[in-house]
Amino acid sequence: MKISNQSNSILTVGQLTSYIKDLFSADNLLNMLRVGGEISNFKHHSSGHMYFTLKDATSSLRCVMFKSSNERLVFRPSDGLNVVLNGRLSVYERDGLYQLYVESMVPDGVGSLFAAFEKLKMRLQAQGLFAQSAKVKIPRFPECIGVVTSPTGAAIKDILATLARRSPQTEVRIVSVAVQGTESSTQIAEAIKFFNTLSDVDVLIVGRGGGSIEELWAFNEEVVAQAIFNSRIPVISAVGHETDYTISDFVADVRAATPTAAAELAVPNNLDLQQFIHMTGNRMLTIMQTKIEKYRSYIKRLSSERELKKPIVRIDQQHQVLDSLDTRLVNRMAYLLKDCEANLNYLDGKLHALSPEAVLARGFAICLDRHGSVITNVDNLKNNELIKIQLHKGIVDAQIKKIIFDK
């Protein structure tokens, strides 16, 4: 667009904005920029486009990365991450603002990703996602195993080959997902959630083959960590090689060093089971033979006993024992009865000696007042009072003539 140099010409805002945009487009430097800084105000729009600000200590720059470009990312951008951007600078005519149209993005050194990794790890650990108490035990004999990984690559081949070799009767279900790129973490999380809607899946293997930290980054995303933590199905994390660690490894119920190791952890080896059953059967057979031999010897010893050969002899002996016990019982009872009889006679004589009749028979008498009560002293008696005197034989009516008090 050309603008007149006449001083009295008036431009519209749109004309001026278009002119500035043309200036940006004509500058080769602005069309092939490489800019580094820290991401802030990051937003991943539902359209798939990414909007954010790139800043440093002195300035900030608005940026946009369209879906067609960000689908090739091997990590998920986030606030605070230092990155290097390739793109072109242009003007967004509607707002009259210049912004960087990003064509590619890489972390500013591996250290930036490690810093993001440690930051998320500390936060999830504080939330309890790594707690040992939250982990679920892997079932010993699973009937169905779910696998979440890429449909291509060595990982799925190793897992399937190992499962087929160790436990061919176990059913395997696979949900194919992208294992790197900006959409990979969402696909992995959704696959885990899908398996949890099924009722017959016993174990999940989630992972991929080895790679750089950027290539493994999908398994360091919080959305994947939360999906693993919320899974009711036990999860085995199988990401990368033995030296590779991701957030998924810390959240999962079991961490396997490799995809092959994950398959080995998921199912028992049929050959090992057959050997165990064979050894157990031999051990049980040995134990049973030992017991049978022991009881055979016992029966043989019993069969040689005299009582078993001539049981009537044993019965006659027991008859004699019973007769002896009967005699002893009769004698003992007679002795006890005689002793009790003697004791009873003694008590009877003692009781008779103390009875009132025996006392009266020896010449004593009992005085009774007019009410029939026994008189024991003269304190309440009066002269001429009528009383009764009970003798050994008969009762005498008497009248008091004189009362003599003890001195």
Q: Which domain holds residue 331?
A: 308-351
Is 367 in contact with 375 (CB distance < 8 Å)?
yes
Is 58 in contact with 9 (CB distance < 8 Å)?
no
| Residue 65 placed within a domain | yes
Strands (E), 120-272: 144-149, 171-176, 203-208, 235-239, 254-255
* 320 plus 383 within the same structural domain: no
What per-residue confidence (pLDDT) applies to 5? 60
- How many structural domains is the chain composed of? 5
Q: What is the pLDDT along the chain (407 residues), one digit of tens a residue?
A: 666 665 567 888 888 888 888 888 778 888 889 999 989 999 999 999 999 999 988 899 999 999 988 887 777 788 888 889 999 999 888 888 899 999 998 888 666 777 778 888 999 999 999 999 999 999 999 999 999 999 988 899 999 999 999 999 999 999 999 998 888 999 999 999 999 999 999 999 999 998 877 788 899 999 999 999 999 999 999 998 877 789 999 999 999 989 999 999 999 887 777 777 888 888 898 899 889 888 888 888 877 776 666 777 778 778 888 888 888 998 899 889 988 988 888 888 788 777 777 777 777 888 888 888 888 888 778 888 888 888 878 888 888 888 887 75
Domain boundary among 268, 291, 322: 268
* 88 plus 157 within the same structural domain: no
- What is the length of the chain? 407
Is 158 in contact with 263 (CB distance < 8 Å)?
yes
* 146 plus 259 within the same structural domain: yes
* 279 plus 241 within the same structural domain: no
| Residue 332 placed within a domain | yes
| Residue 36 placed within a domain | yes
* Three-state SS at 272: helix
CA distance 190 to 181: 15
Using CA atoms, how far residue 99 sits from 42, 45, 292, in Å, is: 14, 17, 92
CA distance 175 to 148: 5
* 151 plus 223 within the same structural domain: yes
Residues 6+ apart with CB under 8 A from 254: 135, 138, 234, 235, 236, 237, 265
Beta pairing partners, 35: 85
CA distance 265 to 116: 30
Tell me the backbone φ, ψ of residue 174, rounded to 5 degrees.
-120, 135
What per-residue confidence (pLDDT) applies to 366? 84
Domain boundary among 63, 89, 108: 108
| Residue 115 placed within a domain | no
What per-residue confidence (pLDDT) applies to 276? 77
* 73 plus 159 within the same structural domain: no
What per-residue confidence (pLDDT) applies to 136? 92
| Residue 122 placed within a domain | no
| Residue 8 placed within a domain | no
* 261 plus 149 within the same structural domain: yes
Is 229 in contact with 251 (CB distance < 8 Å)?
yes
Neighbours of 159 (CB within 10 A): 25
CA distance 175 to 151: 8
Structure tokens at 285: 């057979």
* 148 plus 253 within the same structural domain: yes
- Judge residue 254's burial from the number of C-beta atoms within 10 Å of its C-beta, 0-12 exposed, 13-18 middle, 19 or more buried: buried
> pTM of the full predicted structure?
0.53
Domain boundary among 215, 243, 268: 268
| Residue 299 placed within a domain | yes
* Three-state SS at 371: coil
* 294 plus 312 within the same structural domain: no
Is 123 in contact with 78 (CB distance < 8 Å)?
no
Say which CATH number the domain at 215 has.
3.40.50.10550
Say which CATH number the domain at 46 has.
2.40.50.140
* 194 plus 250 within the same structural domain: yes
* 219 plus 258 within the same structural domain: yes
* 218 plus 299 within the same structural domain: no
| Residue 33 placed within a domain | yes
Tell me the backbone φ, ψ of residue 242, rounded to 5 degrees.
-60, -30
